[in-house]
Structure 1
Amino acid sequence: MRADVDVLVIGAGQAGLAMSHELTAEGVEHVVLDSETVGSTWADRWDSFHLVTPNHFIRLPGGEYHGPYGSGYLSRDEVIAHLQRYAASFGAPVEEHRPVTALRLDGDDALVADTPAGGIRARRVVVATGAYQHERRPAWAQELAHRMPVLGSTDYRSPDDVPDDLPDGVVLVVGGGQSAAQLADELFAAGREVVMAAGSAPAIPRRVAGRDGIDWLEAAGFFEQTLADQPSVAVRVAANPLVTGNHGGQDLNLRTLADEGVHLCGRVLAIDGDRLVVADDLAASVAKGDEAYRQVWQAATAISAGWGLPGPEELPADPPAPVAVAPPRLARVAAVIVACGYRPDYGWIELDGVTDDHGFPVQEGGRSPRSSRLWFIGVPWMTTRRSPLLMGVGADATAIARAIAAA
């Protein structure tokens, strides 16, 4: 058994690195483990991925974005490089390629993290394994995988990954969030016929009155909302607002996809022989996006007036919703891209009562009531909406580090 460490941080993404930075500032001995390399979870994104939040929202403690393109959107590889520079800047004690296979109590005074290279005994553990760990695939997607290529959003890298052996074959993109919309957009631009089985997600304008839509959301207090402010805890798995940082940042939603030529239909419910069974809900999904888009525009108008600045022009009335197409017969589908979001996976923590019925950690300010030695960071809605984000995880890290140092 390795010599004891005071604090063990599991995960070297933005949450784990922010935690390491703040523990270092507090003079707390610690070690950070990652199953791969620093920032490697970002490598699961496709090749053309860009942040949807402007670069100036990268606000890690001691690792803020200070480059010349604060209103731009870093690419996947630039995000990884930023995190690697951040870790190097304060000498983060990261051990890479050290996956934790189990975490268990060792009596009353320590936790033990099992790894292939041996166990590590720690007085306290901070779990920083990301906002979501398990890609969700509906049961019908598993059925389709026996009949045609089915790729998850983490499998997809570029249009070259999608088979085109079927003459006049359709690519079916399933999902309602940012990933599904961006992949459908990219595949269509690459010359593929795309049908998107769309779920419901809010949409936001990329820019209003010369400012980014995310800037207006921050000014409106959107990111300070808590889980208690929401009508249901289901918001933890809700789709993020539709928009893109690609091509310098632009609007991307169900309307823009339909306008460019992507075919839209409702959510896939089941497979019936050679037929997709879909819901009659496309109009409702478009309406949800429209309403959120309108709310951001109205917030920008009100905030501008309060600041004494000219507001945006009046938003025109919504045209009729795009007409849903009949879903393609499976014989015409060359491949399916499933982008139905993620779910948490903390099954490797061998303590009863660590998670709730939905699989999310039970915690208060990051501390687990199951054990005073166990902490979490980077959890959706841990304190506010911004908790897992590059803009907000640092504040949670500061609070947790101070609590650990004071214990």
Structure 2
Amino acid sequence: MSAPAHHPVVIVGAGQAGLSVSWYLGHADVDHLVVEAKTPTHAWADARWDNFTLVTPNWHCRLPGYAYDGPDPDGFMTRDEVVDWLAGWLDTFDPPVRTHTTVTRLRQTGHTGFELTLTGADGDEIVTSDQVVIATGGYPLPVIPPYSSALDPSITQIHSEQYFNPEQLPDGAVLVVGSGQSGAQIAEDLHLAGREVHLAIGNAPRVARLYRGRDCMTWLADMGLYDTPTQQYPGGKAAQEKTNHYVTGRDGGRDVDLRQFAADGMQLYGTLTDGKDATLRFAPTLTAALDKADSVYNSICADIDRHIEANGIDAPPPSRYEPVWAPQTDPTDLDLAAAGVTSIVWAIGFRPDYRWIEASAFDGGGRPMQTRGVTQVPGLSFIGLPWMHTWGSGRFLGIDRDARHLADTIVDGLRTSAPRLAAVQ
């Protein structure tokens, strides 16, 4: 039997994060293999709804050797525009990607080195590697609560990653569960399509789209928030665990105001706690959740005010959000049949799944223990994780920097004669 094929570096996942590491390794002449279960950057086309837009301005879109240079840097690319933009990037280099192949097992071989089981159409294959980069995304498994199976089977249930448009759902009202970026925007998508929408909200904060003449995310970038290392970020670990602020880039970008949705007829509830048959129960948290989200909104605006004042920037005058609607009571139950709800969209996030990795690199919650992507397991690293180094990690804005650092670390670890990657342009 022949020895397994060996690659100095194997990258698991060909999304923009894994391919960014590949870009730098390629420019340093480091032999490596990228293994992808489907096709490069497929998630943008396959796991985004039809009316999806970026929530970060186009100028945030930067990848190694490639940056957005279109006519609308302060706009927000649609799903299809992002797919085209990424295709343009892939045309600029030739990463060594093996597609339609899944890494089903990764184990250490002694103190250094790894053995990977690759599963494809022709069966299993073993390869070995000195270094492995996990670029499979932060949290790949969709979360659906266990009581979902106890609900009336006539109710259609899908996760947010399966939602594409209102037409795929049966006629009738829709319950969206979750008010993070996906939940809030899917609720708006259904609402704008004329569907009756019920929305169960959690503790997600919100942010203004435009404030004092500029996009809030542009202000925050100027203030250094996206460049602040995780250890120095205000609020520490608690801030990093929070759901991302809800806002939208749709139709040129605007606020997502759940109170305005309610004033226009959307039914709002607090946190969904359990359900059985056609009855759902909610915690009485709606009022507090709306107030907290608005407080964060105004707090961010106040931070921008202080930045403008401290730097003597000429800008339009400050303002504060004032509620346009408030609940009379916090609803605690919903009869799906009586309300005509025929479908539920679960938008309550994802969880990690690294069960295929046999290495002591994870905390009690299954999350990688890493510093700038590097773990205590020699040769094992991660890329594309939220808060891996800064708030910008996991976003287009931070991927290039994270990939450059990680690839440079890999080159040093391999003790090759490749040039320092900091010099690669």
TM-score class normalised by the smaller sequence: over 0.9
1:5-404 matches, within 5 Å, as 5-42=7-44, 43-117=46-120, 118-144=125-151, 146-164=153-171, 169-228=172-231, 229=233, 231=235, 233=237, 235-272=239-276, 274-316=278-320, 318-319=322-323, 321-323=325-327, 326=331, 327-331=333-337, 332-351=340-359, 353-369=360-376, 371-404=377-410
Q: Deviations over 1:339-379 (max 9, x none)?
A: 0011111111122x22111221011221221x211111111
TM-score by length of 2: 0.89
| Secondary structure of the structure 1 residue equivalent to 2:273 | strand
TM-score by length of 1: 0.93
Query: What CA distance in whole angstroms lies between the structure 2 residues aligned with 1:37 and 1:182?
Result: 27
Contact 2:159 2:346 in 1 (8 A): yes
Shift of 1:226: 3.9
Query: What CA distance in whole angstroms lies between the structure 1 residues aligned with 2:220 and 2:152?
Result: 39
Shift of 1:258: 2.0
| Secondary structure of the structure 1 residue equivalent to 2:357 | coil
Q: Deviations over 1:32-80 (max 9, x none)?
A: 1111111112221111111000110012121211111111111122222
| CA distance 1:137–1:234, change in 2 (3 Å) | farther
Shift of 1:194: 0.6
Shift of 1:275: 2.3
Contact 2:298 2:320 in 1 (8 A): no
Query: What CA distance in whole angstroms lies between the structure 2 residues aligned with 1:88 and 1:73?
Result: 22
Query: What CA distance in whole angstroms lies between the structure 2 residues aligned with 1:278 and 1:312?
Result: 41
Aligned position for 2:416? none
Shift of 1:153: 0.3
Contact 1:26 1:402 in 2 (8 A): no
Query: What CA distance in whole angstroms lies between the structure 2 residues aligned with 1:316 and 1:68?
Result: 31
Q: Deviations over 1:247-267 (max 9, x none)?
A: 111111322322332111111
> For this pair of structures, how many residues does the alignment match?
401
Query: What CA distance in whole angstroms lies between the structure 2 residues aligned with 1:40 and 1:317?
Result: 39
| CA distance 1:303–1:263, change in 2 (3 Å) | same
Query: What CA distance in whole angstroms lies between the structure 2 residues aligned with 1:275 and 1:328?
Result: 6
Shift of 1:231: 4.6
| Secondary structure of the structure 1 residue equivalent to 2:110 | coil
| Percent identical | 36
Unaligned runs of 5+ in 1: none
Shift of 1:403: 1.3
Contact 1:185 1:262 in 2 (8 A): no
Unaligned runs of 5+ in 2: 414-425
CA-atom RMSD in angstroms? 2.0
| CA distance 1:297–1:232, change in 2 (3 Å) | closer
